[in-house]
Amino acid sequence: MKAISFHFMPYADLPADFTETSRSVWVDIDPKLYDPVKGHAMYRDYLDELELAAEVGFHGVAVNEHHANGYGLMPSPNLMASTLARTTRDAAIVVLGNSLALYNPPLRVAEEFAMLDVLSGGRLVAGFPVGTPMDTCYAYGVDPATLRDRYNEAHDLIMAAWTRDEPFTFNGHYTKLRQVNCWPRPLQQPHPPIWIPGGGSVETWQWCAEQQYVYCYLSYYGWKLGLTQMRGFWNHVKELGLDPNPYRSGFAQFIAVADSEQEALDLYREPAEYFYRRCLHVHGGYAEPPGYKTEATVRAGVASQVEMAAKGGPGETTKAKAGSKSALGDLTFEKMVDAGYILIGSPTQVAEKLHHVATQLNCGHMMLLGHFGNMSKELCSYNLRMFGEKVLPEVQGLFDDQWEDLWWPQHAVGGTRHVPAPDGARARR
Amino acid sequence: MIGVQRCGSGPAVGYLHGPFGNPGIHPFLEALGGHVSVVAPSLPNFQGSEPRTLRSLHEWLVATSETLEAAGLVGVPLIAASTGAMLACELLAIRPDVTSRLVLLSPLGLWNDDDPVHDIWSERTPRQAAWWLRHPARAARFLEDPPGLGADGLMEREVSRYRCRTAAASLMWPLPDHGLAERIARVRVPVSVIWGAEDRLMGSSYRDRWAVSLPDHAGTTVIDDAGHLVEWDQPERTAAAAVDALSLVHG
């Protein structure tokens, strides 16, 4: 199993009355709430934390893209990845990722990811999310009806740009280029591993399985809810006759480790409540612009609503999925722990839980959020060190006696296909 | 394949729908059919017409042109509503033969920075009706599921509604302005405008702007107790005003 330290880089100083005074943490969050001086300190701390994660043994560090978002301060994850490529030595640089439809032309993604791959000496994981409705449709104004069409076309352009060995013409509906010629070329050949972060779209399961890309389920609601989603993906893998290699998948999970369970509960309550109450305070009107969901997903949703109606109404998890104020306002720390949103406890407890979760999900790439909410650098460092020193040794061998990780960067630590980084890249560090 | 609703008798008049499409013979069509012979085609992705990916205004205008041709409406007086009104004007700007007489019901398509059209697609879905309509309950019985539908029927209704909403949102995304202000001078046929007095989606600045922007503005009628989708809130009075504007009273 690979442990990847994932960081959202939240703004950690949202006011206590944020949920009463603001409509949403995303899209229309008040710009006056952002203090760039504090923001400077946060970026510094967050990069320190990711670098520490690499030092204490995490196999990779992960960043992602959000726009106009108070809990994700990385409109350009590539800028952060660029820094981490220089300050880490062996860890995979997992960029989860670039929302392809937002780049014009999308060739820019091929170029910047190639730069990162070369800069890092072949340690890049290239993430291709469709992107959330808040990021793509509201903050960046993309028509939800054409978002996936744009995404698919951008994907085809990027893959061709990386793999074709001569300049070529690209004649798409949205992008037309007389000469496509990606310089630099990716160090990993034919291209870096491709991971697709998804939120439960039926087509994404099928597409990832068909393309043999890694499917990453990014939910804030823990492994119990994620189990249904991951089963959907694994069903498609099975239908295609592919092996159930756990490294075909990734899963995001909050972790909180301390010397004892009680200490963990005491230490991590506040940042967890900050995250779930303030950071997930998303206006419901931004959740589902018409056209964002595919028809197949609508059909799946209709079916499940019919089922729920038969059982007396939609359940709490459905409300929570929509990030609705009413659902999250009632969410207690105890519920977060009980429902598995956070794997919390002593090192032994977290190791057991993580082993269980990874096994249940059949997931080889665990993207672990050791920082959440307004967690201080000191507490996050403690969490990461405890995990690296006491939890990781207990779980990292999972799956490796049976499966090879074919989706890991060639020059990152822990890869079974590991190839030493180019001499030139090493010598300069 | 296009869906077409027809009712009434007398001189032919076309109706180019707005964001709700044509869910059967709805009250406005029925009221209009009391005066004229109504032909109401559905644009792609709306009820009865085929799903189609429309990526740009250009593709929408080709689809609109094809829809009007297929319904036999080229050259016929046309009533066009909201998003459909925007398409009708855009099409007339490049294809003057589409109609010789036009009535616009709460037309979208212009933009005023000082008075932006409300961002209805940022409202929670159940609250959107109150932005479209003054009387959401009146329209609801034509838009909601009829009783007795099985699970498959309910699902198809849900998917159909989602397609309509997707298409309507697409026409308005991110702003319901595709540059018509630069072309409206080319709309040279007489155009009447009907406006809901309590339109929450667009302020009255738009009503005034349409009046001065249309080269042959034939008058504006304001319907009381009506919101943006004036023909859904006040079907009879809107139909009478439209027929009056067209000077096509039958019988």
Residue A72 near residue A11, CB atoms below 8 Å? no
C-alpha to C-alpha distance for A122 and A311, rounded to whole angstroms: 51
Query: Minimal Cα distance from A24: which residue of B?
Result: B122
Asked if the Cβ–Cβ distance from A145 to B124 is below 8 Å, we say no
Residue A223 near residue A340, CB atoms below 8 Å? yes
**DSSP three-state, residue A179:** strand
Q: What is the pLDDT of residue A356?
A: 97
**DSSP three-state, residue A26:** strand
Quickly list H helices, chain B.
27-33, 57-70, 83-94, 125-132, 136-143, 151-171, 204-213, 230-233, 235-246
Residue A155 near residue A210, CB atoms below 8 Å? no
* Residues contacting residue A402 through CB under 8 Å, at least 6 positions apart: none
Asked if the Cβ–Cβ distance from B169 to A286 is below 8 Å, we say no
Q: Is B39 at the interface with chain A, CB within 8 A?
A: no
Q: How far is A172 from chain B (nearest CA, A)?
A: 12
Residue B169 near residue B25, CB atoms below 8 Å? no
List CB contacts (< 8 A) between A149 and chain B.
53, 55
C-alpha to C-alpha distance for B79 and B141, rounded to whole angstroms: 23
Q: What is residue A69's DSSP assignment?
A: B
Token pair listed for B180: 């018509």
- Percent of chain B past pLDDT 90, that is, above it, reads 92
- pTM score, two decimals? 0.93
* Residues contacting residue B248 through CB under 8 Å, at least 6 positions apart: B10, B11, B13, B35, B36, B77
Q: What is the pLDDT of residue A306?
A: 38
Provide the residue-wise pLDDT of chain A in tens; the chain has 429 residues: 999 999 999 999 999 999 999 999 999 999 999 999 999 999 999 999 999 999 999 999 999 999 999 999 999 999 999 999 999 999 999 999 999 999 999 999 999 999 999 999 999 999 999 999 999 999 999 999 999 999 999 999 999 999 999 999 999 999 999 999 999 999 999 999 999 998 777 888 889 999 999 999 988 888 888 888 899 899 999 999 999 999 999 999 999 999 999 999 999 999 999 999 999 999 999 988 999 998 888 888 754 443 333 333 334 434 444 444 445 667 899 999 999 999 999 999 999 999 999 999 999 999 999 999 999 999 999 999 999 999 999 999 999 999 999 999 999 987 655 444 555 444 333
Token pair listed for B186: 């080319």
C-alpha to C-alpha distance for B42 and B58, rounded to whole angstroms: 18
Query: Minimal Cα distance from A290: which residue of B?
Result: B166
List CB contacts (< 8 A) between B170 and chain A.
143-146, 291
Select the residue of B55, B125, B173 nearest A144 (Cβ to Cβ). Answer: B173
Asked if the Cβ–Cβ distance from B124 to A173 is below 8 Å, we say no
Q: Is B95 at the interface with chain A, CB within 8 A?
A: no
Residue B151 near residue B33, CB atoms below 8 Å? no
Token pair listed for A262: 């009680």
Residue B67 near residue B43, CB atoms below 8 Å? yes
CA B39 to chain centre: 13
Cis amide bond preceding A105, omega within 30 = yes
Residue B161 main-chain phi, psi, to 5 deg: -60, -40
- A289-300 as b/e: b if 16+ CB within 10 A: bbbbbeeebbbb
For the beta carbon of residue A231, count every other beta carbon within 10 angstroms.
Answer: 13
Q: Is B94 at the interface with chain A, CB within 8 A?
A: no
State which amino acid sits at residue A299: R
**DSSP three-state, residue A97:** coil
Residue B171 near residue B54, CB atoms below 8 Å? no
Sheet of strand B191-196, all strands in order from the earlier edge strand to the far edge: B4-7, B37-41, B12-16, B78-81, B102-105, B191-196, B217-223
Cis amide bond preceding A184, omega within 30 = yes
CA A324 to chain centre: 21
Cβ neighbourhood burial of B200 (10 Å; 0-12, 13-18, 19+): middle
pLDDT in tens, B105-138: 999 999 999 999 999 999 999 999 999 999 999 8
> Strand pairing of B37-41 and A92-95?
unpaired
* Residues contacting residue A143 through CB under 8 Å, at least 6 positions apart: A137, A291, B169, B170, B173, B174
Max Cα separation, chain A? 65
Q: Is B241 at the interface with chain A, CB within 8 A?
A: no
* Residues contacting residue A52 through CB under 8 Å, at least 6 positions apart: A381, A384, A385
Task: Find the distance separating the first CA and the last CA of chain B, reported in whole Å.
Answer: 34
C-alpha to C-alpha distance for B67 and B59, rounded to whole angstroms: 12
For the beta carbon of residue B61, count every other beta carbon within 10 angstroms.
Answer: 18
Q: Is B205 at the interface with chain A, CB within 8 A?
A: no
**DSSP three-state, residue B163:** helix
Task: Name beta bridge partners: A171.
Answer: A176
C-alpha to C-alpha distance for B220 and B243, rounded to whole angstroms: 13
* Residues contacting residue B134 through CB under 8 Å, at least 6 positions apart: B196, B198, B225, B226, B227, B233
Residue A250 near residue A367, CB atoms below 8 Å? yes
The angle subtended at Cα A263 by Cα A262 and Cα A267, nearest 5°, is 120
Select the residue of A27, A145, A306 nearest B170 (Cβ to Cβ). Answer: A145
> Strand pairing of A176-180 and A168-171?
antiparallel
Asked if the Cβ–Cβ distance from B162 to A285 is below 8 Å, we say no
List CB contacts (< 8 A) between A291 and chain B.
165-166, 169-170
Residue A121 near residue A424, CB atoms below 8 Å? no
Quickly list H helices, A16-94.
18-21, 36-55, 77-87
Quickly list H helices, A120-179.
133, 144-163
Q: How far is B121 from chain A (nearest CA, A)?
A: 7
pLDDT in tens, B25-68: 999 999 999 999 999 999 999 999 999 999 999 999 999 999 99
State which amino acid sits at residue A111: E
Asked if the Cβ–Cβ distance from B154 to A293 is below 8 Å, we say no
C-alpha to C-alpha distance for A74 and A68, rounded to whole angstroms: 9
Q: What is the pLDDT of residue A310?
A: 33
Phi-psi region of B217 (alpha: psi -120 to 50; beta: other; left: phi over 0): beta
Q: What is the pLDDT of residue A414?
A: 79
User: Token match 């940022």: residue?
Assistant: B122
Element of type H or E holding A366: strand A365-369
